[in-house]
Amino acid sequence: MTSRKAIRNISFLKQEASSLLGSTSLTVKVICCAVLFGYCLSFSESAVKSLTVTPAYLFPPVFWIWTAFTHWMIEFHLYEVVTDVIVVGLCGKLIEPLWGKLEMVTYFALVNMTVAIIGTVFYVFVYMVTFNSDYLFQTRMHGLSAYVASVMVAVKQIMPDNIVVKTPAGKIMNRNIPLCVLLVSILFWIVGLLEHTYPVMYGIGMLVSWIYLRFYQQHSNGTRGDLADNFSFASFFPTVLQPPISVFSNLLFRCLVSVKICKKPIRKYDIGAPSSIAIRLPGMDAQDAERRRQIALKALGERLGKQEPSWKQSKSPVPEISPQEDYNQTIPLEPKQEELNLPAGSVKLTIE
């Protein structure tokens, strides 16, 4: 009986995987196959040491630089493999049609390579504070946790107001997912369900992907980044915390602009537009404008649907005529004499 259930579960997983990855591109399929192959290699200690990022070995004198390109394939747990395949498959269905294959591969490589370097620097700093050499020689940075974070940030940018889950406490939307997953991963690390590398890589991937999408991503209209208000750094946090975080992030951005690491946003004023003045921000192309217009129309439709029209509220009830009453009913009418030129009075309606 148990073997039959196992066979059914395996066949169900195969059907779901084929439906998820069947219509995706070759790039998505290659990434998923590489993750599955890396999971098989994770049972070999020498393969894990040679393919994952060890902070003490990435920089000279050892300089295992290739691990920055291979660490994402290795996963130690099957549920992490399933998560990676699902996220990569969703990326192929949602993001790749909008960005294109080249941009998706660039995004994938940029996030994973940058996380390997910044994560190594982070663990070197942790060693300088704690003097625990295990952070340098026993830490294995691996997996696609950083890319999972980057996909969630991209989904937040594309569909920020889509509802994921409705709870008694409120609605969880796409814009809330990146921070919620980060907090959950930290909680799982505290209770021992995840390695400490998972929340570290996830947090770095979340920050790196936001910086790239916010300031550097090249768009088809020649602009870079996305300076929309609903994609600011403070928008990742709850509404109560957004004002102080916004002040801090704006101050940090001004400092980066002053040292010429970041550029000031360029606003273009189109005086010849149909409206009085049209302002264009970098990253806000026609697709973004159409997406925001659809979101605004949807929100307006929901608000109007909740409110009952005034003509329905003010409509007087229609008098009901009992069948037992006399069919000859006299209904008084008081029309305006200047419109109908009839004296005010009553009209007797006879129904035969």
CA distances from residue 97 to 78, 91, 163 in whole angstroms, order as listed: 28, 9, 22
Mean pLDDT (the chain, rounded): 79
The pTM of this model reads 0.73
Q: Which residue has the higher pLDDT, 128 or 60?
A: 128
Decide if pLDDT at 203 tops 90: yes
Decide if pLDDT at 178 tops 80: yes
* pLDDT at res. 266: 65
Tell me the torsion sign for CA atoms 251, 257, 261, 266. Answer: positive
Angle, CA 84 vertex, CA 122 and CA 213 arms, to 5°: 60
Chain centroid to CA 168 = 22
Give dist(CA 229, CA 281) in Å, integer.
Answer: 11
Please measure the distance between the N-terminal and C-terminal CA atoms of the chain and give it in whole angstroms.
78
pLDDT band for position 309 (cuts 50, 70, 90): low
How many C-beta atoms lie closer than 10 Å to residue 198's C-beta?
21
Question: What is the token pair recorded at 197?
Answer: 């590398």
Give dist(CA 156, CA 297) in Å, integer.
Answer: 19
Angle, CA 221 vertex, CA 217 and CA 226 arms, to 5°: 40
* pLDDT at res. 133: 92
Cβ-in-10-Å burial (0-12, 13-18, 19+) of 45 comes to: exposed
Chain centroid to CA 178 = 7
CA distances from residue 216 to 47, 130, 160, 252, 264 in whole angstroms, order as listed: 35, 35, 20, 17, 12
* pLDDT at res. 351: 44
Say which range, 112-121, 201-210, 224-233, has the weakest mean pLDDT. Answer: 224-233
Question: What is the token pair recorded at 224?
Answer: 């870079």
Provide φ and ψ at 269, rounded to 5°. Answer: -105, 120
